[in-house]
Every structure is written in C-alpha cells, then in structure tokens.
C-alpha cells in the first residue's frame, strides 16, 4: 500500500477531541427559566445543557442496543461504548479506592 493510501485511511478515522460549542435556543416561560437558573446555581447553562444532551444520547443508545431489530453494526458500536464506560468506571473505582 502506498504512502498516499495510508495517509488517506488515517485521516478518514474519526477522532474524539475537546467538546465543540453548539448553539441552541430554549423556549420556556420566564418563571420556568428563573427557576432553572436558581436550580443550576453557579454552574453555567452550557454545562448543564451539555450534560442533558449527553444523558439523552446515552438513553437513546441504551434503547437502541436492546431493540430486537438491532443491526450488527449497531451492536459493535454498543460494545465499543460499553468498553469505554467500563474503562471509565474502572478508573473512577481505582481513584476512589485510593482515597481509603
């Protein structure tokens, strides 16, 4: 395989980097927005909404993985996400165990 072919393959891979900013509008009444701002305290709206988006995507992925008509590719993707989560939980457990 030539160098150009190898370089093309490498650049085609998806890399995970720092989170990018996305803009969204939220349509709620003024009282709800005020309560929301009090509820989140000192955290930024972007941080809280980012967590919400991550939670919804995780829920969607869980629902996708348990469907009966899930494709082989979707199963492979679910396994890859499970491996990442397992690694994350392992690191958290190791760090917390070190505190005792």
Same domain for 75 and 58? no
Coil, helix or strand for 30? helix
User: CA 49 to CA 47: how far, in whole Å?
Assistant: 6
Instruction: Indicate whether 89 pLDDT > 50.
Output: yes
Q: Which distant-in-sequence residues (6+ apart) come within 8 Å of 75 by Cβ?
A: 65
Q: What mean pLDDT is predicted for residues 64-92?
A: 88
Residue 51 is predicted with a pLDDT of: 93
Is the pLDDT assigned to residue 80 strictly greater than 80? yes
Any domain includes 5: no
Residues 76 and 48 in one domain: no
> Residue 84 is encoded by which pair of tokens?
């990442």
Of 7-11, 13-17, 55-59, 92-96, least confident by mean pLDDT is: 7-11
Predicted local distance difference test score (pLDDT) of residue 12: 46
- Token pair listed for 11: 């650049």
Residue 76 domain boundaries: 71-100
CA–CA distance, 41 with 3 (Å, rounded to integer): 53
Of the pLDDT bands very low, low, confident and very high (cuts 50, 70, 90), residue 7 is low
């Amino acid at each position: 395989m030539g160098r150009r072919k190898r370089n093309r393959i490498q650049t085609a891979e998806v890399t995970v980097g720092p989170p990018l900013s996305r803009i969204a509008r939220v349509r709620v009444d003024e009282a709800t927005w005020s309560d929301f701002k009090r509820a989140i305290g000192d955290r930024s709206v972007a941080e809280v909404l980012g967590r919400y988006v991550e939670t919804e995507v995780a829920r969607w992925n869980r629902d996708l993985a348990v469907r009966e008509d899930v494709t082989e590719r979707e199963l492979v993707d679910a396994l890859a996400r499970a491996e990442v989560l397992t690694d994350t939980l392992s690191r958290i457990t190791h760090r917390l165990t070190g505190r005792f």
